[in-house]
Amino acid sequence: MLLPKLSLKARLTLLAVFSFVFLLIVGRLYRVTDYPLSIITGDSKSDVPKPQPNEESTIIYQDPTILKSYDDPNAVPHPIDHLIRDADTKWADLRAKQVYNLTQVAEQYRQRRGRHPPPGFDKWYEFAKSKKAVFIEDLFDQLYDDVSPYWGLDPKEMRRQASGFDPRIVVRDHKLSSVGRTGVNWLEVWMDMMKEFVKFLPDMDIPLNGMDESRIIIPWEKLTEYREQDFARRKPIDPSNTTDQYMQLPAFDLEALPESWGPAWEGPGRPFWDIMRDACPPESPGRNSNIPHLDFANPPREFFNYRNFSKTGYVEDFEKSKDPCWRAELQGMHGSFIEPVSLSTSHELFPLFGGSKLTVNNEILIPPAMYYFDNPMYSGGFKNKGGAWSKKKDTIFWRGIASGGRAREDTWTGYQRQRFVSMLNGTTISKTNGSSSHGINFRQPDYQYYNVWAGIDGTLPEFLDEHCDLGFLDLKCFPPEDGFHCSYQDPYFSIVDPMPMKEQYAYKYLPDIDGNSFSGRYRAFLLSTSLPIKATVYKEWHDSRLIPWAHFVPLDSLYMDIYGILQYFIGYKGHNGHDRQAEKIAMNGKRWAEEVLRLEDMEIYVFRLLLEYGRLMDDNRDTLAYVDDL
Ligand SMILES: *[C@@H]1O[C@H](CO)[C@@H](O)[C@H](O)[C@H]1NC(C)=O
Ligand SMILES: *[C@@H]1O[C@H](CO)[C@@H](O)[C@H](O)[C@H]1NC(C)=O
Ligand SMILES: *[C@@H]1O[C@H](CO)[C@@H](O)[C@H](O)[C@H]1NC(C)=O
Ligand SMILES: *[C@@H]1O[C@H](CO)[C@@H](O)[C@H](O)[C@H]1NC(C)=O
Ligand SMILES: *[C@@H]1O[C@H](CO)[C@@H](O)[C@H](O)[C@H]1NC(C)=O
């Protein structure tokens, strides 16, 4: 059909040309992937399992120059060199755990989870296999962290709660229905995500969080108690004592719905930190401190906590760096803690699924509807990934609205998006007094500590003018004012024109900063040929799949590290940039996202999650198991 009029000879010529191009591409891939793993990973531990012979290396970009610099005693390595090298090792170790058949997958499950897999595991495996999943049990760690506390609850009570919650998805007799509605069309999108495997699911009710903000916060002592019950129940049951039939639930009848149920919600009117502090460990600063407002001229001691989770100031422990319990200063430096747009929190644990949460929240994460649904505002259009790295501009680019919470006249200086845009505005920086000085809504880093070369020689504003293009589309103040403006923020920001996401891929560096909750563009950024620079205090379903510095560049939510990061990659005057490193992370992140963050991977994740959930809600949860492989 494609070539209707061509002679046989012409077709053969075309075939030859295609084969040649194909071989060229394969040859190139082969060459760049051909570094022995031990060299790539440097000092990798010897107890790491050897990769399977048929495993295809996923490192497509390796920069031999950086490897050389480790061996060169005269080279002064930048802290980011180490972070990237360690992350690559971590990633290689993770991939080395990949397994390829059901027996191995079930065995890995038992080793890591301390239980038999739930009934239906074989169906899950077949489904995942048919969708070309990468089988590494670690990729599901987030799921098990989320469901762990629920082992402390009574299944019967959980079923009562779930069957009365609005909104919810209902599974009966392998069919989907729903009750209530969420904002936008999330409910429909989530049902869409489940439709291919609902035929393998037991009966269940799936309560959903229809709000942007996360909802459940239980006291730390209670959480600890619940998690202990999970550990106590992990026993190797003899296969002869297991069962494989889930309970059946009463039929779904819209005319006779179960009694509606909801927890007591604690709402607006009380500062969020007061609602949340009991979720922190007793010894943590977040439990006891009170820093609702940051004085950037004289920051409190806690302001410097970011150094605790970092290598010389650059994020090393991304998970811990997000945790408000250990980052008490975030109380006055992130809208989610200052004054969220809406607030409705339960201190009681009950079944609830949502797209993102703070580390102090307890709901069960599922992939956000925005990631599954091709809305160009968040995805840039599923097909647009951007062009070649070498064609992109050496610029950090961002457009967005000043969301994040209710930014009032006396609190807006604590809001994260404003802080970020101010710190990368050359004019604003030129009005400060350099290293460790401050502006109205930010503090400047110590230039020496962070290797801010342009700062040290007094040209940081010029560097920023040259390499930054950021701006707000709407200043969103509270109470709202006319149009996109905001009288008390106008002196500091201009309103700029929007740019479609696919055009933003013309820039190398794409920062991603929390709005009212997590940022819905992140997955698209990962899949693009540009490099995401990610700052967040939120957790998402994919957190155990992504390795900071291997797949994206982590940024601390105080942004003290941003200049150092930009200069490391872009370089400055006498200091070479690490453009190849930036390209490597961008391409490895893309490649990995194409293997483990696909739409299919979201389905596979939710399928696994709902089998676990079905078991958890079942009166026989301690004996329900898949053991056919034993
Ligand atoms: C699974 O893979 C392992 C390792 O390659 C192999 O020894 C085993 O025979 C395979 N099992 C099945 C059921 O294919
Ligand atoms: C099976 O369960 C029963 C009752 O709990 C117990 O007495 C028995 O020892 C178990 N059998 C095995 C093989 O573990
Ligand atoms: C961070 O480290 C400093 C000392 O370096 C210590 O005083 C402080 O308590 C630490 N903060 C946290 C939150 O661990
Ligand atoms: C910078 O320092 C000068 C002299 O100490 C002072 O007058 C000025 O207010 C400072 N500017 C800022 C923005 O802190
Ligand atoms: C940069 O800051 C100056 C004030 O320091 C402000 O006038 C300007 O609008 C800002 N630019 C943007 C894009 O917000």
Q: Is the pLDDT of residue 325 over 80?
A: yes
Kindly give the number of the ligand 5 atom that is closest to the alpha carbon of 421.
Answer: 14
Percent of the chain at pLDDT > 90 equals 78
Kindly give the number of the ligand 2 atom that is closest to the alpha carbon of 241.
Answer: 1
The ligand placed nearest to the CA atom of residue 100 is 1
- Stated as kind and residue range, the H or E segment containing 12 is helix 8-33
The ligand placed nearest to the CA atom of residue 434 is 4
Q: Is the pLDDT of residue 337 over 50?
A: yes
CB 149 within 8 A of CB 226: yes
Angstrom distance (rounded) from CA 539 to CA 354: 11
Q: Is the pLDDT of residue 23 over 50?
A: no
Task: Give me ligand 4 centre to Cα 485, in Å.
Answer: 29
Task: Give me ligand 2 centre to Cα 241, in Å.
Answer: 6
pLDDT top residue among 58 and 339? 339
* Cβ of 519 less than 6 Å from ligand 5: no
Q: Is the pLDDT of residue 134 over 80?
A: yes
Burial of 535 (0-12, 13-18, 19+ CB in 10 A): buried
Residues 217-244 have a mean pLDDT of 96
Strands 175-179 and 314-315: unpaired
Q: How confident is the model at residue 57 (pLDDT cuts 50, 70, 90)?
A: very low
Task: Give me ligand 4 centre to Cα 431, in Å.
Answer: 9
Q: Is the pLDDT of residue 9 over 60?
A: no
Task: Give me ligand 1 centre to Cα 130, in Å.
Answer: 18
* Cβ of 461 less than 6 Å from ligand 5: no
* Cβ of 240 less than 6 Å from ligand 2: yes
* Cβ of 492 less than 6 Å from ligand 5: yes
**What's the pTM?**
0.88
pLDDT top residue among 15 and 528? 528
The pLDDT value recorded for residue 4 is: 43
The ligand placed nearest to the CA atom of residue 235 is 2
235, 241, 622, 627: which to mutate for ligand 2, most atoms within 8 A of CB?
241
- Enumerate residues lining ligand 1, CB below 6 A: 100-101, 103-104
DSSP state for residue 438 in the 8-state scheme: B
Strands 310-311 and 314-315: antiparallel
Lowest mean pLDDT among 43-52, 299-308, 336-345: 43-52
- Stated as kind and residue range, the H or E segment containing 9 is helix 8-33
Burial of 52 (0-12, 13-18, 19+ CB in 10 A): middle
Question: C-alpha angle 545/548/549, rounded to 5°?
Answer: 130
Residues 181-187 have a mean pLDDT of 80
Task: Give me ligand 2 centre to Cα 54, in Å.
Answer: 42
Task: Give me ligand 1 centre to Cα 103, in Å.
Answer: 7
Kindly give the number of the ligand 2 atom that is closest to the alpha carbon of 238.
Answer: 14
Q: Is the pLDDT of residue 69 over 70?
A: no
Kindly give the number of the ligand 5 atom that is closest to the alpha carbon of 471.
Answer: 13
Task: Give me ligand 3 centre to Cα 301, in Å.
Answer: 9
The pLDDT value recorded for residue 76 is: 67
pLDDT top residue among 499 and 379? 499
CB 263 within 8 A of CB 203: no
* Cβ-Cβ contacts under 8 Å for 63 (sequence gap 6 or more): 578, 580, 581, 584
H, E, C per residue of 532-579? EEEECCEECHHHHCCCECCCEEECCCCCCCHHHHHHHHHCECCECCCH
CB 88 within 8 A of CB 40: yes
Q: What is the pLDDT of residues 75-110, one digit of tens each?
A: 568 999 999 999 999 999 999 999 999 999 999 999
Task: Give me ligand 1 centre to Cα 600, in Å.
Answer: 25
The ligand placed nearest to the CA atom of residue 125 is 1
Task: Give me ligand 4 centre to Cα 429, in Å.
Answer: 13
Percent of the chain at pLDDT > 70 equals 88
Angstrom distance (rounded) from CA 595 to CA 128: 12
98, 99, 101, 628: which to mutate for ligand 1, most atoms within 8 A of CB?
101
Residues 119-137 have a mean pLDDT of 98
Angstrom distance (rounded) from CA 608 to CA 123: 10
Task: Give me ligand 5 centre to Cα 385, in Å.
Answer: 30
* Cβ-Cβ contacts under 8 Å for 590 (sequence gap 6 or more): 385, 526, 527, 528, 529
The ligand placed nearest to the CA atom of residue 242 is 2
Q: Is the pLDDT of residue 411 over 80?
A: yes
- Enumerate residues lining ligand 4, CB below 6 A: 431-433, 437
Q: What is the pLDDT of residues 459-501, one digit of tens each?
A: 999 999 999 999 999 999 999 998 999 999 999 999 999 999 9
Structure tokens at 256: 């006779």
Residue 576 backbone dihedrals phi, psi, to 5 degrees = -65, 140
Residue 438 one-letter amino acid: H
* Cβ-Cβ contacts under 8 Å for 283 (sequence gap 6 or more): none
The ligand placed nearest to the CA atom of residue 108 is 1
Most confident among 50-59, 232-241, 267-276, 581-590 (mean pLDDT): 581-590
451 Rama class: left (phi>0) / alpha (psi -120 to 50) / beta: left
* Cβ of 103 less than 6 Å from ligand 5: no
Kindly give the number of the ligand 2 atom that is closest to the alpha carbon of 237.
Answer: 14
Lowest mean pLDDT among 3-17, 43-57, 519-533, 614-628: 43-57
The pLDDT value recorded for residue 310 is: 86
| Closest to 380 measured CA to CA, from 523, 248, 484, 202 | 523
* Cβ of 428 less than 6 Å from ligand 5: yes
Residues in a beta bridge with 532 = 510
Name the one residue in this structure whose structure tokens are 């990934």. 385
Q: What is the pLDDT of residues 566-618, one digit of tens each?
A: 999 999 988 889 999 999 999 999 999 999 999 999 999 999 999 999 999 99
Q: Is the dihedral of CA 291, 296, 300, 301 positive or negative?
A: positive
Instruction: Give the distance, in angstroms, between the CA of residue 148 and the centroid of all CA atoms in the same chain.
Output: 20
Structure tokens at 365: 């994460």
The pLDDT value recorded for residue 52 is: 37
Beginning with the edge strand found earlier in the chain, give each strand of the sheet holding 204-207 in spatial order: 175-179, 168-172, 204-207
CB 513 within 8 A of CB 398: yes
Structure tokens at 161: 């709660």
- Stated as kind and residue range, the H or E segment containing 80 is helix 79-95
The pLDDT value recorded for residue 24 is: 39
The ligand placed nearest to the CA atom of residue 438 is 4
- Enumerate residues lining ligand 3, CB below 6 A: 285, 305, 308, 326
Task: Give me ligand 3 centre to Cα 319, in Å.
Answer: 17
Angstrom distance (rounded) from CA 292 to CA 271: 9
Q: Is the pLDDT of residue 14 over 50?
A: no
Q: Whose CA is nearest to atom 12 of ligand 2?
A: 238
Kindly give the number of the ligand 4 atom that is closest to the alpha carbon of 297.
Answer: 14
pLDDT top residue among 296 and 576? 296
The pLDDT value recorded for residue 573 is: 87
Task: Give me ligand 4 centre to Cα 314, in Å.
Answer: 28
Residue-range domains of the chain with CATH = 374-600 (3.40.50)
Q: Is the pLDDT of residue 205 over 70?
A: yes
DSSP state for residue 442 in the 8-state scheme: -
433, 435, 442, 492: which to mutate for ligand 4, most atoms within 8 A of CB?
433
Kindly give the number of the ligand 3 atom that is closest to the alpha carbon of 304.
Answer: 1
Residues 424-432 have a mean pLDDT of 98
Task: Give me ligand 5 centre to Cα 428, in Å.
Answer: 7
Task: Give me ligand 1 centre to Cα 615, in Å.
Answer: 28
Residues 155-182 have a mean pLDDT of 95
Q: Whose CA is nearest to atom 10 of ligand 1?
A: 101
Q: Is the pLDDT of residue 388 over 70?
A: yes
